[in-house]
């Protein structure tokens, strides 16, 4: 494998030197010429085409969120790690970054010395670099699919079963996609489940944000929470969420091994949905990098459940929905407004 080419964008010379020391300690990483502000970062990213960008938030000329938005518009497949003290101080900034397509986020450490900082970053930042690039490679090339999916889209079932649950998997660009979808989607007659790739500090904030900005009640799931029609349970950061059989059914949380470099991951949730609900499963895969949800959708398809994905044009990154569509598991790939209409029709038995 060729080395991972990393571009650092930070206005602090101390941070740039520290990151160069940390990244250069890994023989699998090549450190490109760093950028000293946001505008230069965008120029260097276009010129050097790095495999990954490490991006500060608070910078002159263009701040990190502005750079992130421009990068994801021009090269959505390029992984970006937000590296800033601000992602820890305020969840709003982190949610903004995730909505714009940030693939990872790491708070600049506040340690007592340079050596301690370097060792901490070697332990905690380097694995994130490799993880982001591996997730990118897992669906490399799926952002520019113009051909029909292999074998064509999955046909709608001849005998339609009314859904008993609505499950959503989403990653990069997720908060904005969820807000837009939920703003259009009317109240649903079945329980809802969401897995959004996000750290533990922010899933509660996301649930509160969605609950306050849309017509749907959304809560961060707790172990043993019952599935209630009309209510969405959001998997908490660092926990897989699966459905268990009961009266009514409920969710359990676990810290099993990461899947697709993620915890929570979409696949464990979808496997449990397929097992409990079978053909009464309704699944949507929204914007996100990587292929989490693919294997779970295969299980949903086997039991006769129905799958719809967000289309390429409206996705920040068309990795997760793109690979499900390419594999012929989804009936349709739709923009968010059409997706909301389709989900409503399926839930009412009209599609």
Whether the CB-CB separation of 100 and 173 falls below 8 Å is answered with yes
Catalytic residue, candidates 292, 301, 311, 314: 292
Catalytic annotation on 216? no
How far apart CA 300 and CA 145 sit, in angstroms, is: 23
For the chain, the maximum distance between any two Cα atoms, rounded to a whole number of angstroms, is 66
The pair of structure tokens assigned to 316 is 């920040």
How far apart CA 145 and CA 319 sit, in angstroms, is: 10
Whether the CB-CB separation of 135 and 103 falls below 8 Å is answered with yes
Whether the CB-CB separation of 175 and 216 falls below 8 Å is answered with no
Whether the CB-CB separation of 324 and 330 falls below 8 Å is answered with yes
Domains in the chain and their CATH numbers?
A: 4-138 (3.40.50.2300), 165-347 (3.40.50.180)
How far apart CA 91 and CA 287 sit, in angstroms, is: 21
What b/e sequence results for 254-279 when a residue is b if at least 16 CB atoms lie within 10 Å of its CB, and e otherwise?
Answer: eeeeebbbbbbbbbbbbbbbbebbeb
In tens, the pLDDT along 20-33 reads 999 999 999 999 99
Sign of torsion, CA 110 23 93 259?
A: negative
The pair of structure tokens assigned to 344 is 């409503």
321 by Cβ neighbours in 10 Å (0-12 / 13-18 / 19+) ranks as buried
pLDDT of residue 147: 46
In tens, the pLDDT along 166-197 reads 999 999 899 999 999 999 999 999 999 999 99
Tell me the pLDDT band of 144, cut-offs 50, 70 and 90: low
Catalytic annotation on 37? no
Nearest CA-CA partner of 12 in 37, 41, 47: 37
Please tell me whether residue 55 adopts helix, strand or coil conformation.
Answer: strand
Catalytic residue, candidates 56, 84, 138, 197: 197
For residue 201, is pLDDT > 80? Answer: no
For residue 153, is pLDDT > 70? Answer: yes
How far apart CA 73 and CA 101 sit, in angstroms, is: 9
Question: Of 335 and 106, which is predicted with more confidence?
Answer: 335
Tell me the pLDDT band of 91, cut-offs 50, 70 and 90: low
Catalytic annotation on 56? no
How far apart CA 313 and CA 342 sit, in angstroms, is: 17
Q: What is the DSSP letter of 143?
A: G
Catalytic residue, candidates 91, 138, 171, 272: 171
In tens, the pLDDT along 43-69 reads 999 999 999 999 999 999 899 999 999
Bridge-partner residues for 9, per DSSP?
35, 55
In tens, the pLDDT along 223-280 reads 999 999 999 999 999 999 999 999 999 999 999 999 998 999 999 999 999 999 999 9
Place of tokens 């900082």: 117
Q: What is the DSSP letter of 142?
A: G
Nearest CA-CA partner of 285 in 325, 253, 316: 325
CB count within 10 Å of CB 141 equals 12
What b/e sequence results for 68-86 when a residue is b if at least 16 CB atoms lie within 10 Å of its CB, and e otherwise?
Answer: bbbbbeeebbbbbbbbbeb
Whether the CB-CB separation of 165 and 282 falls below 8 Å is answered with yes
């Amino acid at each position: 494998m060729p080395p991972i080419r990393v571009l650092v964008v930070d206005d602090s010379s101390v941070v740039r030197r520290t990151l160069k020391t940390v990244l250069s300690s890994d023989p699998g990483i090549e450190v490109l010429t760093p950028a000293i502000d946001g505008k230069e970062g965008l120029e260097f990213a276009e010129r050097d085409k790095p495999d990954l960008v490490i991006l500060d938030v608070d910078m002159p000329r263009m701040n990190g969120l502005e750079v992130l938005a421009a990068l994801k518009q021009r090269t959505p497949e390029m992984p970006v790690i937000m590296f800033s003290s601000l992602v820890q101080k305020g969840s709003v900034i982190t949610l903004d970054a995730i909505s714009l397509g940030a693939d990872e986020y790491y708070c600049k450490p506040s340690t007592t010395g340079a050596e301690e900082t370097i060792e901490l970053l070697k332990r905690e930042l380097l694995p994130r670099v490799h993880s982001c690039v591996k997730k990118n490679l897992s669906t490399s090339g799926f952002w520019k699919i113009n051909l029909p999916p292999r074998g064509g889209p999955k046909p709608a079932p001849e005998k339609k079963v009314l859904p008993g649950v609505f499950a959503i998997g989403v990653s990069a660009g997720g908060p904005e996609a969820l807000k837009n979808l939920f703003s259009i989607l009317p109240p649903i007659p079945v329980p809802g489940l969401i897995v959004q790739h996000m750290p533990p500090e922010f899933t509660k904030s996301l649930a509160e944000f969605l609950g306050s900005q849309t017509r749907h009640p959304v809560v961060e799931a707790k172990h043993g929470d019952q599935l209630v029609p009309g209510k969405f349970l959001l998997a908490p950061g660092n926990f897989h969420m699966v459905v268990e059989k009961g009266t009514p059914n409920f969710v359990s949380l676990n810290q099993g091994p990461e899947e697709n470099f993620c915890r929570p991951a979409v696949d464990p949730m979808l496997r449990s949905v397929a097992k409990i609900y079978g053909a009464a499963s309704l699944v949507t895969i929204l914007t996100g990098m990587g292929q989490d949800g693919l294997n779970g959708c295969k299980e949903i398809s086997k039991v006769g459940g129905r799958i719809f994905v967000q289309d390429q044009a409206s996705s920040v990154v068309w990795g997760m929905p793109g690979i499900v569509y390419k594999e012929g598991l989804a009936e349709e790939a739709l923009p968010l407004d059409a997706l909301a209409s389709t989900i409503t029709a399926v839930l009412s038995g009209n599609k």
